[in-house]
Amino acid sequence: MARSRRLKSLKIYVAGPYAPPKGTEIHDAARVAHKHTIRAIKAGIAIIEKGHIPFIPHLMHFVHLETRKSLPAEFYYSYDMVWLRHCDALLFIGRSKGALHELDWAKNHGKLIFRKIAKIPLASKKN
């Protein structure tokens, strides 16, 4: 039986939708953003279980909920890109304007791209 290839632990950026689609009722916007955040957290947990380190930008959802004065969307896009530069790879979990921009940037800068958690190899025990 062939052994699966293991590699050093990677810092993997989770890219996927956060904001609800245009036209979403205001009442449902927070619920949709929360649902997207939970999906990203679950992807991050799967990354951890494979021995890697996730960066989950969706966790800023909780900062967003606690700010008294709304931060502009541009702040969040800048924040995400600062962290993406430090990651080795990107896991693309769904389409959105921001996630597609992150995917393109990662491709253009030689980052590993994963579209399915199952394709992420296990990390070696020695790091």
pLDDT tens per residue across span 99-119: 999 999 999 999 999 999 999
Give a yes or no: residue 58 inside a domain: yes
5 lies in some domain: no
Whether 125 is covered by a domain: the verdict is: no
**pLDDT digit string, tens, across residues 20-58:** 777 667 778 888 999 999 999 999 999 999 999 999 999
Domain that holds residue 27: 11-119
Q: Is residue 127 part of a domain?
A: no
Assigned domain for 69 exists: yes
Are the beta carbons of 52 and 124 closer than 8 angstroms?
no
- Tell me whether residue 2 is in a domain: no
Q: What percent of the chain has pLDDT over 70?
A: 91
| DSSP symbols for 46-95 | HHHHTT-EEE-GGGHHHHHHH-SSPPPHHHHHHHHHHHHTT-SEEEE-S-
Q: Name the domain count of the chain.
A: 1
User: Domain holding 77: CATH number?
Assistant: 3.40.50.10400
Whether 126 maps to a domain, the answer reads no
What is the distance between the alpha carbons of residues 11 and 35, in angstroms, rounded to a whole number?
A: 23
Averaged confidence pLDDT in the chain: 90
Asked, for residue 110, whether it belongs to a domain, the answer is: yes
